Amino acid sequence: MRTFPVNLDLRGRRCVVVGGGPVAQRKVTALLRCGAAVRVISPRLTPRLGRWASAGRIGWTPRPLRRGDLRGATLVFGATDDARTNQRLAAEARRAGILVNVADTPGCCDFFMPAVVRRGELVVGISTGGNSPALARRLREELGRSLGPEYRLLVRLLGRARTRVLAVRQGPRANRALFTGLVRSPLLDEIRAARWQEVDRLLARHVGDGVTLASLGFRIPEGDSRAGSGTGRA
């Protein structure tokens, strides 16, 4: 199966999760992390989902799925242990033109949830097209060991440097060469080693005179030797 990889901005968008067990909790956790407006439909909830419902972090419809419950949703997730319910919600979602994912039922899925490695705004998703979630998890573990916490700061730093460069309007070709040079420089190694003066030197060389961590809004504790663990907070 050839799937189309995409990252969705779900901030404020209605997403419906049908089911209230551990699988549903994992889906809800991922959706909340992305700022989605989550509605859970289930007679019962895990204790954590119950606390979130009581606190108003999620909406809860405390009954089984009914016709019309999916109206207005951007995404729908089926996470029940009832195959008939899962098939019914998939069919209703597709009639309404809503993308649906049903746990452990590839035939009812319009999209698959990748195994994800997150380092701040760096997101690496791994999908096997529903063939082997276990393999995706193994690859996530391997990538997680190679992508350390320093990438969190690196991505934020590159984003602010990019904003600064684009404001100068040098043109696409010059900007591309600058960004490529900065990414291929020893910047990551210097962040990992917490050599902040070297980071400033690279920024000045590639982005422009006077460009430093401080000028980009980062506060690096003086003498701090920890890369990415509490450093670089703006």
Q: What tens digit of pLDDT does each residue of 158-171 get? A: 999 999 888 887 88
pTM of the model: 0.77
Q: Are strands 115-119 and 122-126 parallel, antiparallel or unpaired?
A: antiparallel
pLDDT of residue 221: 60
Architecture of domain 14-113: 3-Layer(aba) Sandwich (3.40)
Q: Six-digit token pair at 109?
A: 């899925």
Q: Six-digit token pair at 195?
A: 């050599």
For the domain made up of 114-147, the CATH class stated in words is: alpha beta
Domain boundaries, given as residue ranges, for the chain: 14-113, 114-147, 148-234
What is the rounded distance in angstroms from the CA atom of residue 191 to the CA atom of residue 198? 9
Instruction: Specify the DSSP class assigned to residue 37.
Output: E
Q: What tens digit of pLDDT does each residue of 93-112 get? A: 999 999 999 988 888 999 98
User: Rounded to 5 degrees, what angle do the CA atoms 198, 201, 206 make?
Assistant: 125
DSSP string, 106-164: GGG-SS-PPEEEEETTEEEEE--TTS-HHHHHHHHHHHHHHS-THHHHHHHHHHHHHHH
Instruction: Give the Cβ contact number of residue 171 at 10 Å.
Output: 8
pLDDT of residue 113: 87
pLDDT of residue 225: 46
One-letter amino acid of 215: S
